[in-house]
Amino acid sequence: MSDPQSARDAWQTRTWAEVKTETQARADRSAYPIIGITSEDAREALAQIHSFDHDEWGAAWMSVGDPYFARGEYLAAWRLYNFGRWPVPDSPKKIESNAKAKRAFEAYGQSLDPEIQRIAIPFEGKEIIGYLQLPPNVTKPPVVINIGGSDLWKDYVAIQTRAFLDANIASFAVDMPGAGDAPLPCAPGSERMISAIIDYLQGRSDIDGARVVVRGQSWGSYWSARTAYAEATRLKGAVFQSGPVHEYFQESWQTEAFKTKEFLFDYVPSRLHMLGQATVEDAFAYMPSLSLVTEGLITKPTPPMLLIGGVLDTQVPFSDFRLLLENGSPKSAWVNPSGGTMGRSLTVKDDEIFRGVVVPWVRQQFGL
């Protein structure tokens, strides 16, 4: 029997030398997934890494992050630690880097005004961990539940969605099932975790629980869609950004998607970790069960939905975007003809899409 790690490594789309070059290039332009890390810090960390070894990766980024943490520069420390665990914490040093990232992020969140509050919601004998932010001087604001993706989790989402506060909207950031601290696996029915968050928010006296939008990005959008079907009467809207629907889950697409170069490296280990599957073959066999078409959800009613995508997406087929758009309740759409996953391109960055497309649409749903 072949070594599982060797089998996963066989799907790498770049040599290590190419990964180093591409990582530095993305740091230089602050591009996914190394957003906000300086060119100099990236160069220092990369000089310590000489292979795909996961512990070498985690140790290098921690070594650059530690001085920032010691000086109380928690945001910079978090960015470095967070990249040290990227895309998933699956080795001792990556696990250590993930733990440091959590400490740095929570210290950073507490330093802000308004602060980023860590929330723990009891759920099926476990906890749903989320980050809540409330706009200042607003009585009972509406709220957006923001679901992270497979590799950029609730901490990243919490920072991005701070822009909602300027629009007098509260933000709750949470990990998608199968990622980060989520208490449920990536499996049909796990959207009940998001339903439990709606219950929690509706029970707070400082939030308008009658005005809730759910938003996902990348794989997190799959869960915003499932929540939209499950909670059509309790939501004011749902945002879906480059998530999978049906064709994505078929082996014919996955065989090609696993070769994507939009993902920096370790795409396959990231997907196996999220899906809870040991091998590529296991993942191919499991994924069709997640299809929104196979489950009969695609034609069911939803609250208003905003769909965002890029025609040139190599991680999720654009045909999935069209499938969701053309079925069920009426929807709004924003498409970048030259965009990849998330609709991003060399000239259109994630934050531009969020601030220029997502926030105005959400405000409209809330009547703001």
List the pLDDT tens digit at each of the 368 positions of the chain. Answer: 344 455 556 777 788 899 999 999 999 999 889 999 999 999 999 999 999 999 999 999 999 999 999 999 999 999 999 999 999 999 999 999 999 999 999 999 999 999 999 999 999 999 999 999 999 999 999 999 999 998 889 999 999 999 999 999 999 999 999 999 999 999 999 999 999 999 999 999 999 999 999 999 899 999 999 999 999 999 999 999 999 999 999 999 988 877 777 788 888 888 899 999 999 899 999 999 999 999 999 999 999 999 999 999 988 999 999 999 999 999 999 999 999 989 999 899 888 999 999 999 999 999 99
pLDDT tens-digit map of 150-187: 888 999 999 999 999 999 999 999 999 999 999 999 99
For residue 1, the model assigns a pLDDT of: 37
For residue 2, the model assigns a pLDDT of: 43
For residue 31, the model assigns a pLDDT of: 86
CB 31 within 8 A of CB 46: no
CATH homologous superfamily for the domain 115-250+291-368: Alpha/Beta hydrolase fold, catalytic domain (3.40.50.1820)
HSE-up (13 A, CA, CB side) for residue 74: 16
The Cα–Cα gap between 73 and 329 comes to: 46
For residue 270, the model assigns a pLDDT of: 87
Percentages (nearest 5) of helix, strand, coil residues in the chain = 45, 15, 40
Q: Is the CA virtual torsion 361, 363, 366, 368 positive or negative? A: negative
Give the pairing of strands 126-133 and 117-123. antiparallel
- Tokens representing residue 265 in the block: 């490296």
Q: Which of 167, 189, 166 is nearest to 178 (CA)?
A: 189
CB 184 within 8 A of CB 275: no
DSSP string, 316-347: S-HHHHHHHHTSSS-EEEEEETT--GGG--SS
The Cα–Cα gap between 45 and 292 comes to: 41
- Tokens representing residue 333 in the block: 């759409």
143: amino acid identity, one letter:
V
| Beta carbons within 8 Å of 234's beta carbon, 6+ residues apart | 198, 202, 212
For residue 258, the model assigns a pLDDT of: 76
- Tokens representing residue 178 in the block: 């199968």
Helix axes 54-70, 74-85, angle to 10 degrees: 170
- Tokens representing residue 164 in the block: 């909602």
For residue 295, the model assigns a pLDDT of: 92
Any idea where the domains of the chain sit in the sequence? 1-111, 115-250+291-368
The Cα–Cα gap between 366 and 227 comes to: 18
| Beta carbons within 8 Å of 200's beta carbon, 6+ residues apart | 119, 121, 128
pTM, entire model: 0.92
Cis peptide bond upstream of 360, omega within 30 = no
The Cα–Cα gap between 240 and 219 comes to: 9
